[in-house]
Amino acid sequence: MSTNLSELERELSGLAARIAALRETPAPGAALDELEAAEELLRSALAELGRNHRRKEGGNQREQKLLRQVFRALPVPLVVMDAGGVVRRINNETSRLLGSPAGYLLGRPFPLLIDVSRRAAFRSHLTAVLHGDESATFETRLAHQGRTHTVRLVLSRLRMPGEPREMIAAVALPTDVRLPEASSPDRFPEASDSDRVADESATMAAARRHDLLARLTRLLLDEESLREPVALIRAARLLAAETADWVIADVFRDDALDRALHRALHRALDRTLQRAAVVPPASEPVTRLQRAVEGMDPAGAPVVRQVLETGSGTVHEMLSDDALLGPGVLGDMRAGSLLSVPIGTGQELLGVLTLVRLRDRPPFGLADLGLLEEAGAQLGLAMRAQRSFQRRSQAAETLQTGVLPRTLPDIPGFETAAIYHPGSEPRAIGGEFYDVFSVRDGWGFVIGSAAGRGEEAASVTAMVRGGMRVVSVREDDPGEALRKVNDALVAQNTGLFVMAAAGFVRGRRVRLASAGHHPAALLLPDGGVRFTEGGGVPLGLEEGAVPAVEELTLTAGQTLLLYSDGLVGSRGADGESYGEGRLTEVLTRCAGQPPGTVVKAIEEDHREFCGNHVLDEITVLTLRRSR
């Protein structure tokens, strides 16, 4: 009879049916009594079998729970891996030893936890155990998360009923292992020396990562790094010196194509991705390998494409594919591990940063991935700011060509000269202008400074310059011309104001108008210097504002000089302002000199005062009565 409970139940049901049929016969006799007795015995036996089966199943479950608890609490590091060496189970002591949670280690190849120099020996022992040896015991070194432990590793093959594949149990016994002593429940065992050393090493590693990020931040904020290629190369050199052997930066060109279209048509990204920096190990000169890597198409590297497609970083602690950067590249580099992260701002992907360590160095780990992802984000923000600054500067420079005359016209009876310097401060361009143009029965000039920088200021100064040229065709007075330009600027509601001075020259007479501008300087032939009244309200502040107006009569040898706020308002290394006082001293030394010599002397003196670090724009315009 079958011992399967379900089959017994079916057979018993069939017997009961036959007994019921027998009862319907006219004279069942003694046979029916015997069958009914047999049915009762069978039902008792079936009930007992059911109870025994349930007790057995319950015992198995309790036994499995006990074994799991023993596995977790075992005070010796224990790892269960499959035949391919992939971690399937680890206990709590293994997590503590390696400094990583079980969730991070599960599914990872166990050889990645072995020191690079000893991985080949481990694979040899693993193969031997799988092909017949009961167990293997050997000394090796575990390296993970900045921690290194010399251990005696015991590998044993596990044969588990119901499991189609064999498993391997690895017991890692530290050479200085000490089992925790029994203690009261409220007393924790004291940390061993190796634990304290490991904790100190982890703390030092975290401090080094923090210091590297701080240094990278300072580098990217440095003025020299305002140009994108300079920033990328300097950042790559820093990372190569501190945490890698090879550093490769691939970025998208800053073109005018729509970013959303780039994301929708990902293939378009390939055409604009370029290799911006390749930094080899410091111990190696520029080699054929470096030039070969520089000449490769970055979009053809599988690891670069992976980062572009996923938008997240990846770390290869042990390299099994030397084509990640291109066919044979990693093999030629003698690479041991690789890490690749996006360069971006979160909303925009600007490129990929790839780092390589050689085989004789500890491999990259999870902490390195986090560090370099933050570095990639900092690079992305810096690149976005640099590109924005460059685009705005180019726009301002384009506008600036419209607010500065290419050459000064010849004014009968006068010599003229002018200088303009854009300055070195970010966006220090576009705020200042000058112009000389013809008016009815004479010549006109204007000089001004907008309260702003960049393309906004350049657009406003272009408006003022063009407006003065148009209005002066019909106006005989520079003050009236400035007033009309002011009203037009107020109506535009630009939010910027302009300090300006304008003059009309007819014969020896110069009629000056000032709208909040610095007073003009008059250099006399004997070296004396006096200043005009200046004053007035800047353009763009108040509708109907009337400029301050005065008239001068220049005699032969007198020089009229107009200058911007960038000249007298600039400061030296000690914080002192250049001011009208120093300008007066320079002009006094230039008595009797032509305008070209005067502006050159001012330019050289200002450069000496600022120490070759001119931050703001500087504009100077001079007119000298020659006869």
In tens, the pLDDT along 420-444 reads 887 665 444 557 889 999 999 899 9
Instruction: Output the pLDDT for position 348.
Output: 84
Please report, rounded to a whole number, the percentage of residues in the chain having pLDDT higher than 90.
30
Which band of pLDDT confidence, cut at 50, 70 and 90, is reported for residue 546?
Answer: very high
Residue 353 reports pLDDT greater than 80: yes
Domain termination site, one of 395, 414, 430: 395
C-alpha dihedral over 4, 10, 14, 16, to 10 degrees? 90
Would the CA dihedral through 110, 115, 119, 123 be positive or negative? negative
For the cut 90, the answer to whether the pLDDT of residue 320 exceeds it is no
372 class by beta-carbon count within 10 Å (0-12 exposed, 13-18 middle, 19+ buried) = buried
Return the CATH number at 512.
3.60.40.10
Instruction: Count structural domains, the chain.
Output: 4
Mean pLDDT in residue range 558-580: 89
pLDDT at 38 over 60: yes
Q: What value, to the nearest 5°, has the Cα angle with vertex 386 and ends 382 and 387?
A: 120
User: Averaged over 3-25, what is the pLDDT?
Assistant: 64
Residue 494, H or E segment: none
Q: How far is CA 567 from CA 237, 593, 615, in A?
A: 39, 20, 10
Nearest to residue 204, comparing CAs of 244, 141, 147, 150? 147
Please tell me whether residues 595 and 474 are part of one structural domain: yes
Say whether both 68 and 140 belong to one domain. Answer: no
Strands of the sheet containing 414-421, edge to edge, are: 414-421, 618-625, 559-563, 521-523, 529-531
How far CA 359 is from CA of 328, 330, 370, in Å, comes to 15, 11, 21
Cα separations (Å) of 466 from 202, 338, 402, 472? 66, 59, 9, 10
Which stretch of 112-126, 176-190, 549-563 has the lowest confidence by average pLDDT?
176-190
Which tokens is 611 given?
């120490």
Residues found in the chain: 627
Same domain, 496 and 619: yes
Tell me if 198 is assigned to some domain. no
Q: Tell me if 89 is assigned to some domain.
A: yes
Q: Which residues contact 525 (CB under 8 A, 6 or more apart)?
A: 556, 557, 558, 591, 592
- Cα–Cα distance for residue pair 599/606, rounded to 1 Å: 11
Residue after which a domain boundary falls, among 25, 47, 72: 72
Does residue 207 sit within a domain?
no
Residues 25 and 91 in one domain: no
Give yes or no: residues 487 and 409 share one domain.
Answer: yes
> Could you tell me the sign of the dihedral formed by the alpha carbons of 216, 217, 221, 222, in that order?
negative
Indicate whether 389 and 505 sit together in one domain. no
Q: Euclidean distance between the first and final Cα of the chain, in Å?
A: 138
Residue 194 lies in a domain: no
Across the strands, what pairs with 167?
82, 158
Residue 550 lies in a domain: yes
319 pLDDT more than 90: no
The segment with the largest mean pLDDT, out of 62-76, 169-183, 194-208, 264-278, is 62-76
Task: Between 27 and 178, name the one with better pLDDT.
Answer: 27
Q: How far apart are CA 151 and CA 142, in angstroms?
A: 7
Q: Could you give the residue ranges of the DSSP H alpha helices within 99-141?
A: 102-105, 119-130
Please check whether residues 524 and 419 belong to one and the same domain: yes
Cα 141 to chain centroid distance, Å, stands at 35
Same domain assignment for residues 592 and 458: yes
Ordered DSSP codes for 557-597: T-EEEEE-HHHHT-B-TTS-B-HHHHHHHHHHHTTT--HHH
pLDDT tier at 385 (50, 70, 90 boundaries)? confident
Helix axes 595-610, 579-589, angle to 10 degrees: 140
pLDDT band at residue 307, thresholds of 50, 70 and 90?
A: very high
**286 shares its domain with 387:** yes
342 neighbors 393 (Cβ within 8 angstroms): no
Maximum average pLDDT range among 203-212, 413-422, 446-455, 611-620: 413-422
Are residues 133 and 89 both part of a single domain? yes
Contacts of 349 (CB under 8 A, 6+ apart): 252, 308, 311, 342, 343
Share of the chain above pLDDT 70, in %: 73
210 occurs within a structural domain: no
Residues 129, 194: Cα–Cα separation, whole Å:
31
Continuous H helices in 74-100: 92-98
Nearest by Cα to 92 from 84, 83, 101: 101
Residue 2 has pLDDT above 80, yes or no: no
What is the span of the domain harbouring residue 293? 221-395
pLDDT for the residue 41: 62
CATH number of the domain that 161 lies in? 3.30.450.20
Is 552 contained in some domain? yes
pTM over cut 0.75? no
**Residue 455 structure tokens:** 């393309």
* Residues 48 and 88 placed together within one structural domain of the fold: no
Q: What burial class does residue 144 get, using C-beta atoms within 10 Å of its C-beta: 0-12 exposed, 13-18 middle, 19+ buried?
A: buried
DSSP 3-state of 413: coil
Q: Which of 72, 101, 124 is the last residue of a domain?
A: 72
Tell me, yes or no, whether 375 and 468 share the same domain: no
Interior CA angle at 498 toward 425 and 598, to 5°?
65
Q: Which pLDDT belongs to residue 260? A: 37
Q: Within a domain: residue 445?
A: yes
Question: Please, which residues have CB within 8 angstroms of residue 215's CB and are 6 or more apart in sequence?
Answer: 238, 242
> Residue 368: which CATH number?
3.30.450.40
